[in-house]
Amino acid sequence: MYDFGREPLSKVYPDPCCLTLTSVLLPVLTLRSRKPITASMMISGVYDFAMDVEARIEALTRTEYHTRPRGAKRLIEELYPLSRFALSLKQPGLSIEVEALEGSGRADGRISISGFLEKTFEVQVTFAGYERSDALRSEMLAEEGAAPGAGPIDRERDTGKIFASMQSEDVGAFVKALGQSIHARVSLKIGKPYATGSILLVAFDEVRICGRGWWELLYETIDDAGGIHLGPFSGIYLFNSASNELNRVA
């Protein structure tokens, strides 16, 4: 495995949009699920799993989607990225089974591959770039129909009302914040014991990260923050929910 502590991501992966097996523009499934998802453990074939997750997200109300109460949060930040990662592994001759693990155990999911390749591994999913200020903006957007994209935002302790003011920022400021958040999430995860062969999937939702230039800038920002180290994982991937782009970075 390449030592990403020695070379920056921007040099190792100079063209994220031209990666082969490690960079996939995943399909958007629009079919409705044939089987409802239970509130407990989910386990099914890769296509059924993806359709079930998508159907549940489509069933969320506008307020639920933006404010992300517990169930919606898990759907958007864990199960959707897990389903899309599993889809990227599907090939003719391979059967993929996906299992979503409940509770606060060491893994968020387990993927089993059978066919000409036999393999089972755990997946740890973490979500980056959605801090307290982002959650407040989403809540304000759901309640009032609009929210400033940048600037100070907070909640009044007495009334609970969110107040915000607009503020200009550099064009690439959001990329810097996202890169720092990704580095922080990875650094937190590599210090914990995970099963041998586990995959770390770092998801984020940023519609402005699309195309070679923005991905290169994101890699440079991660490098500046300290880079990405493999730690106990056999692979680390970045997934942009806004574009369904998946890139392996370690």
Per-residue pLDDT of 223-242, as tens digits, reads 999 999 999 999 999 999 99
What stretches of 165-250 adopt beta strand conformation (E)? 199-204, 235-240, 245-248
Residues 6+ apart with CB under 8 A from 140: 146, 147, 153, 162, 164
Which is it for the CA torsion 135, 87, 96, 3, positive or negative?
Answer: negative
Instruction: Give the residue-averaged pLDDT of 244-248.
Output: 96
**Residue 3 domain-assigned (yes or no):** no
What would the mean pLDDT of 30-37 be, rounded to a whole number? 38
The pLDDT assigned to 210 comes to 86
Residue 11 pLDDT greater than 70, yes or no: no
For residues 64 and 70, what is the distance between their CA atoms, to the nearest angstrom?
Answer: 9
Q: Is it the case that residue 123 has pLDDT exceeding 50?
A: yes
Q: Tell me what pLDDT residue 24 has.
A: 41
Q: With CA atoms as reference, report the closest residue to 168 among 154, 153, 145, 149.
A: 149
Tell me whether residue 4 is in a domain: no
Q: pLDDT: is 94 or 34 the higher one?
A: 94
Each residue's pLDDT tens digit, 75-86: 999 999 999 999
- Is there a domain that residue 225 lies in? yes
Q: Structural domain tally of the chain? A: 1
What is the rounded average pLDDT of the residues 72-101?
96
> Given a cut of 70, is residue 111 above it in pLDDT?
yes
Query: 22: domain range?
Result: 9-248
pLDDT at 43: 87
The string of pLDDT tens digits covering residues 143-198 is 888 788 788 888 888 888 887 878 877 878 999 999 999 999 999 999 898 998 99
Q: Identify the burial level of 241 via C-beta atoms within 10 angstroms of its C-beta, where 0-12 means exposed, 13-18 middle and 19 or more buried.
A: middle
Asked if residue 1 belongs to a domain, the reply is: no
Specify if 56 maps to a domain.
Answer: yes
Question: pLDDT tens across 207-218, in order?
Answer: 999 888 999 999
Asked if residue 103 belongs to a domain, the reply is: yes
In-domain check, residue 204: yes
Residue 2: inside a domain? no
Instruction: Supply the pLDDT for residue 1.
Output: 36
